[in-house]
Homo-oligomer: A and B are copies of this chain.
Amino acid sequence: MLSERRLEVLRAIVQDYVGTEEPVGSKALTERHKLGVSPATVRNDMAALEEEGYIAQPHTSAGRIPTDKGYRLFVDKLAAVKPMTPPERRAIQNFLEGAVDLDDVVGRTVRLLAQLTRQVAVVQYPSLTRSTVRHVELLSLAPARVMLVLITDTGRVEQRMVDCPVPFGETSLADLRARLNSRVAGRRFADVPRLVEDLPEAFDLEDRGTVSTVLSTLLETLVEENEERLMIGGTANLTRFGHDFPLTIRPVLEALEEQVVLLKLLGEAKDSGMTVRIGHENAHEGLSSTSVVSVGYGSGGEAVAKLGVVGPTRMDYPGTMGAVRAVARYVGQILAES
């Protein structure tokens, strides 16, 4: 068990290192923080912290830097989420208001988050399966061609082309549209498969095939992992990393380009509350020297998707967490209004 002061030393090391980006030594620590003890004592504490694996030296005769484990302890025990200041809150709200559609909301959110945290921002679109059906529209584009449009209560719109096995009349189409909507409108997408199961049976034999085709397209659209989308931004902030970085930045950019990787990353995070994954805690190799701070957001109580930032393990955790949480909250509000 670490003494109170040693924890304090760890906190000081994290704070200084995050600020200066340079290994911090015992002397500098005592000067910048009122620890009330001499450098020699701090050195002893540092040795103990290193023994426990919370800090490390890049090389002998250099200062210490926190390890992933050190950051973990810092985040869990030593740091409090830093709330946004009122002006910041107002700025967030102003920035997000005036979005004309969901793409705009997500786009603005990404930019906002990237700017606030000066890191790479990732925002997931509201998941279809966790949203509620606002409307299902069917449009006849050609005798045997139907366009299926899904609209969620979060403003997300998905469309699919359906090639029908046989031509489908306008009246049948209107019929299907009406029946479909009366069953699913206002219900959760996750329940849709169950709700439309027996729908083909209500139709004439000749239309039944077409109805099934339409429905199966609908269901395919809802398959998780296909329906997830996201937007990223602030990649230019990666250049602030280290100065060594072709090597550092490359794998990160590559990982960020892989939507699958990012979706998995966000998927691994807790559904409620904030999640911080530090360094090697991230399964993906390219992200092993980055930390991911993510949180769910939603129009009501429940999260419909996640958002977060990706940055160096050496990041300002309290500030980042504060920004991420605040943005998530406001996005939720905006979505609820639309």
Contacts and interface: CB of A to CB of B under 8 A. Distances in A.
Given A101-B159, A139-B135, A147-B151, A234 B257 contact: yes
Contacts of A311: none
Interface of A is mostly: mixed
Interface stretch (A51-59, A88-96, A235-243): A235-243
A159 B159 CA distance: 12
A325 interface: no
Contacts of A203: none
Contacts of A239: 246, 249-250, 253
Contact of A149 (B157, B235, B243, B245): B157
A309 to B, nearest CB: 15
A229 interface: yes
A137 interface: yes
Contacts of A234: 257
A234 to B, nearest CB: 7
Q: Looking at chain A, what size class is its interface with the partner chain?
A: 35 or more
Interface in A289-338: 338
Contact of A157 (B157, B246, B253): B157
A245 B22 CA distance: 21
B229 A250 contact: no
A31 interface: no
A195 interface: no
Q: How often does this chain occur in the complex, in copies? A: 2
Given A100-B160, A159-B157, A233 B245 contact: no
A254 interface: yes
Contact of A236 (B139, B229, B233, B254): B254
A244 to B, nearest CB: 10
A135 B238 CA distance: 43
A161 interface: yes
A2 interface: no
Contact of A229 (B103, B158, B243, B253): B103
A141 B245 CA distance: 51
A277 interface: no
B229 A257 contact: no
Interface in A244-288: 245-246, 249-250, 253-254, 256-257
Interface string A126-162: 0000000011010101000001010100010111110
Interface of A: 100-101, 103, 134-135, 137, 139, 141, 147, 149, 151, 155, 157-161, 221, 229, 233-236, 238-239, 243, 245-246, 249-250, 253-254, 256-257, 338
Closest A-B pairs by Cβ, 5 of them: A236-B253, A239-B250, A236-B254, A157-B159, A135-B139
Given A103-B229, A134-B141, 12 more contacts: A100-B160, A100-B221, A101-B159, A134-B147, A135-B141, A137-B137, A137-B149, A151-B159, A157-B157, A235-B253, A236-B250, A236-B254
